[in-house]
Amino acid sequence: MTIEELKRIKEQTLPQINMRHTHTVENETKYKHQVLVCGGTGCTSSGSGKLIDEFKAQVSAHGIEDEVQMVRTGCFGLCELGPIVIVYPEGVFYAQCKTENVKRIVEEHIIGGKVIDDLVYHEKTTGEVKEKLSDMQFYKKQSRIALRNCGVVDPEKIEDYIAFDGYQALAKCLFEYTPEQVIDIMLASGLRGRGGAGFPTGLKWKFACGNRGKVKKYVCCNGDEGDPGAFMDRSVLEGDPHSVIEAMAIAAYVIGADQGYIYVRAEYPIAVKRLSIAINQAREAGLLGNNIFGTDFSFNLEIRLGAGAFVCGEETALMTSIEGNRGEPRPRPPFPAVKGVFGKPTILNNVETYANIPQIILKGADWFAGMGTEKSKGTKVFALGGKIVNTGLVEVPMGTTVREIIFDIGGGIPGGKRFKAAQTGGPSGGCIPEANLDTPVDYDSLMAIGSMMGSGGLIVMDEDNCMVDIAKFFLEFTVDESCGKCTPCREGTRRMLEILTKITDGKGEDGDIEKLEELANTIKTTSLCGLGQTAPNPVLSTLRYFRDEYEAHVYEKRCPAGCCKHLAKITIDPEKCKGCSLCSRKCPVGAISGEIRKPFVIDQSKCIKCGACLESCKFGAISKK
Partner 1 sequence: MALTKEQIAEKTEELKKFIAENKNMPGPLMPIMQFAQEKFGYLSLETQILIADSLGIPVTEVYGVATFYAQFSLNPKGDNVISVCQGTACYVKGGAKVLAKVEEQLGITSNQTTPDGKFTIQDTRCLGCCGLAPVMTINEDVYGKLTPEMIPDILAKY
Which residues make up the interface to partner 1 (CB under 8 A)?
A: 41-42, 45-46, 79-82, 226-231, 234, 266-268, 304-310, 321-328, 342, 383, 385-387, 391-392, 423, 426, 457, 459-461, 465, 470, 473-474, 477, 483, 615
Question: Quick one: 82 or 488, whose CB is closer to partner 1?
Answer: 82
CA distance 439 to 161: 36
Determine the longest span between alpha carbons in the chain, in angstroms: 89
179 preceded by a cis bond (ω within 30 of 0) = no
Closest distance to partner 1 from the beta carbon of 375 (Å): 28
Closest distance to partner 1 from the beta carbon of 228 (Å): 3
Nearest-10 crossing angle of helices 269-284, 241-255: 60
Closest distance to partner 1 from the beta carbon of 324 (Å): 4
Question: Quick one: 68 or 563, whose CB is closer to partner 1?
Answer: 563
Q: Which class for 456: exposed (0-12), middle (13-18), buried (19 or more C-beta within 10 A)?
A: buried
Closest distance to partner 1 from the beta carbon of 310 (Å): 7
Question: Quick one: 42 or 508, whose CB is closer to partner 1?
Answer: 42
CA 522 from chain centre, in angstroms, equals 31
Question: Quick one: 360 or 394, whose CB is closer to partner 1?
Answer: 394
Closest distance to partner 1 from the beta carbon of 485 (Å): 11
CA distance 609 to 558: 14
Closest distance to partner 1 from the beta carbon of 523 (Å): 21
Helix, strand, coil percentages in the chain from 3-state DSSP, rounded to 5: 45, 15, 40
Closest distance to partner 1 from the beta carbon of 282 (Å): 20
Contact between 357 and 250 under an 8 Å Cβ cutoff? The reply is yes
Question: Quick one: 377 or 485, whose CB is closer to partner 1?
Answer: 485
Neighbours of 435 (CB within 10 A): 9
The single-letter DSSP state of residue 485 is S
Amino acid 296 reads: D
Question: Taking Cα atoms as reference points, which of 583, 488, 589 lies closest to residue 535?
Answer: 488
Closest distance to partner 1 from the beta carbon of 163 (Å): 28
Question: Taking Cα atoms as reference points, which of 52, 64, 43, 50 lies closest to residue 113?
Answer: 64
Contact between 455 and 194 under an 8 Å Cβ cutoff? The reply is yes
Question: Quick one: 16 or 623, whose CB is closer to partner 1?
Answer: 623
422: β partners: 432, 460
Question: Quick one: 229 or 599, whose CB is closer to partner 1?
Answer: 229
